Structure 1
Amino acid sequence: MRSCPGKICFTSDLWTSIATDGYVRLTAHFIDSNWVLQKKIIKFSYMPPPHSGTALCDKTNSLFNAWGIQRKVFTITLDNAAVNDMFVGLLRDHLSLNCSLGNGGEFLHYVKESQVRKKKFVEYVTQTSLDPKKSLRQDVPTRWNSTVFDAF
């Protein structure tokens, strides 16, 4: 991941098994040196309780630090679980320490299901002169409950 020529966007999801064991999945989305969009599940691991914003931030931040990619993080997309607001706020604070986030981390987090974030997204789209009537794709291929699943 360190050799990736640009910034990296991430998606993450927390999943609980029938046996109530928690697992976290972290997927990287980036443009490689040949200008080809790549998406790679870079971590799928057990996530012990508590599944708090602090615990999720600690886990994710430790992975970024171990891989030496803190300065490459551009965005992280999460679902609308209540703990994710705290998670992304703490992650923004950690990543801001090394001044690696563009626009002070303003674009770090986006969730379509949140009306406030949806409104902000439309504002950003309008500022960039893109078509605000376009929408984000609803299916996420790396999500277990998605209607579309790509084999990796």
Structure 2
Amino acid sequence: MIIIHEYPLSIVEHHGFRKFVGGLQPLFKVSSRNTIKSDILKIYDFEIQKTLKMLEKNTSRIAITTDMWTTNNQKKGFMAVTAHFVDQNWNMKSRIMRFIYVPCPHTSVVLADVLYDCLLDWNLDRKLSTLTVGILLDRLPMSSLMMGGRLFHMRCCAHVLNLIVQDGLAVLGDGIERIRDSVAFWIASPKRDQKFEEAARQLRISSTKKLALDCKTQWNSTYLMISVAIVYKDVFQRLHQRESQYKNLPTQRDWEFAKEICDRLQLFYEVTVMFSGSKYPTTNVFFSIDM
């Protein structure tokens, strides 16, 4: 339960939790925080060994994806390394092999060292098919790679699309910020959210979509935020007349521009969804149809 829901280890010391468990089974003795920590590490070691055996038995090559993640509060960098492969029953499988702290500076050399150590730990250095970064190519034996490593470096298509679209969204500029601020204002509290929904009902807007704030670095979330906000543009206008604290109303030009941008981004969004699939192989999309 603690692993699945990412509860803090201290939950076993909480009075309410102990009372709840006692109500279910008075004879059950709740473990201490240290015992829980030890049990979780045992589960972790067991899962590692199970995954190692599965990868050893698997005869197909392994594709690796990796990305960096930075914490908001401590600004520490972590690397996630994921293995993708097709098992003997032709089922697509993915396993997170490592989620590890990477000390600064996050240069290509540092990232390559961390990634290479991970591959050695999992005995994957001679079973690779493709990698989404190319900084390891000079460390791996060319004889173990397909076509001598010519297909080893796979550009992340979703990332390339992200760079293209981010440049396009820059055209909206302040317009996006006004829409973003408007969405943030009306979802900031349950009271405002309820007021917004009531205004939508009064204007007979039948959509059941909820406003959602985007993540600035993920254009697809910006696309979804704008596409929903456009549906409620009349609601924003009406509430601007009734709510004195709501000041950053998008202009009519902002809405027209946003609609035009959304129409163009729909295709990019659909392609990104296709590239980001996890239940089916996507490497084949890299090759042209006539190959």
Fold conserved (TM > 0.5)? yes
Map residues 1-152 of structure 1 onto 2, 5 A cutoff. Answer: 1-18=55-72, 19-77=74-132, 88=134, 90-95=135-140, 97=141, 99-108=143-152, 109-112=154-157, 113-114=159-160, 137-139=274-276
The 1:58/1:103 distance shift into structure 2, 3 A limit, reads same
The answer as to whether partners of 2:142 and 2:148 remain within 8 angstroms in 1 is: no
Higher RCO (C-alpha under 8 Å, 6+ residues apart): 1
| AA partner of residue 94 (structure 1) | R
Quote the sequence identity (%).
30
Q: Which of the two has greater helix per residue?
A: 2
SS at match of 1:70: coil
The 1:50/1:2 distance shift into structure 2, 3 A limit, reads farther
TM-score by length of 2: 0.35
The 1:140/1:11 distance shift into structure 2, 3 A limit, reads farther
What runs of 5+ residues in structure 1 fail to find an aligned partner?
78-83, 116-134, 142-152
| AA partner of residue 155 (structure 2) | Y
- 1:45-104 CA deviation, whole Å, 9 max, x = no partner? 111111111111111111111221111111112xxxxxx5xxx1x301111x36211122
The 1:139/1:6 distance shift into structure 2, 3 A limit, reads closer
- How far apart are 1:140 and its partner, in Å? 6.1
The answer as to whether partners of 1:2 and 1:69 remain within 8 angstroms in 2 is: no
Runs of 4+ aligned structure 1 residues displaced above 2 Å come to 135-141
Point out the structure with max Rg over C-alpha.
2
Q: Which of the two has greater strand per residue?
A: 1
The answer as to whether partners of 2:142 and 2:149 remain within 8 angstroms in 1 is: no
SS at match of 1:71: coil
Cα distance between partner residues in 2 of 1:139 and 1:7: 20
The 1:7/1:138 distance shift into structure 2, 3 A limit, reads closer
- How far apart are 1:26 and its partner, in Å? 0.7
The 1:138/1:36 distance shift into structure 2, 3 A limit, reads closer
Report how many residues are paired.
112
